[in-house]
Amino acid sequence: MCAPRDARHESGVTLIELVMFIVVVGVAAAGIVGVIGYATRASVDPMTQKQALALAEAVLEEVQLMPFTYCDPDDPQAGTAQSATVGPTGCSAGGVEVIGAEAGAPFGPETRTGVATPFDNVNDYDNFTMAGGIVDIAGNAVPLPELAAYTASVTVSNQGLGGIAGNEALLITVTVTHPNLNPSIVLHGYRVRYAPNALP
């Protein structure tokens, strides 16, 4: 005959097994939380990235909307010039538009927010940097404190485009940086000389 089953021998989880399970799960959870915390700290703040992209797009649009003329738009022959040369069918002396802002007389020194001699051509923006606050093209806006850490820089270079000669097309590169942004936001755009006598 079989002996009656003793209720004290029923199977289940012992206290020691339960404590060991809690310790193992706790160590695993601590490791996972640490990895998530590191990933969060190392990732770019989405707001910073979106603001940098918006700033880069705005600066690129500003540059692309500028005239791309043979002569400096202040040159009296800019509206009739047929080439980037000095002469009766070109520009007046000192008026040929070249990469970079005009540094001296008769049409400079040019600055982005200058009242008398502002940037007036796409190539004027080469090596332009806006740091310590983003301001509008007229320079009359007080930089927002939230944008003080952003820096925008522009380079402009001759770049052939398909069948278009290198001196008739420009590659514009806008780079926006921020201490918490890695990598920086870089946008490229082209400007073709499709209306060389269109003045502002």
pLDDT digits (tens, 9 = 90+) for 186-196: 999 999 988 88
Residue 34 CA, chain-centre distance (Å), reads: 32
Per the model's pLDDT, the better-predicted residue between 12 and 4 turns out to be 12
Task: Return d(Cα 94, Cα 7) in angstroms, integer.
Answer: 107
Would you say residue 173 has pLDDT above 60? Answer: yes
**pTM, full prediction:** 0.72
Task: Return d(Cα 132, Cα 152) in angstroms, integer.
Answer: 10
Mean pLDDT, rounded, for 73-99: 87
Average pLDDT for the chain? 83
Q: Write down the domain spans for the chain.
A: 14-42, 46-192
Structure letter (DSSP) for residue 100: S
Per the model's pLDDT, the better-predicted residue between 172 and 104 turns out to be 172
Phi, psi of 15 (to 5 degrees): -60, -40
Q: What is the pLDDT of residues 39-63, one digit of tens each?
A: 666 555 778 888 889 999 999 999 9
Percent of the chain exceeding pLDDT 90 equals 16
Per DSSP, what are the bridge partners of residue 172? 156, 189
Would you say residue 149 has pLDDT above 70? Answer: yes
Mean pLDDT, rounded, for 157-175: 88
CA distances from 167 to 83, 92, 98, 191 (A): 11, 19, 10, 11
- Asked whether the beta carbons of 70 and 195 are under 8 A apart, the reply is no
CA distances from 85 to 79, 93, 97, 148 (A): 14, 9, 9, 42
Least confident of 20-34, 100-114, 134-148: 134-148
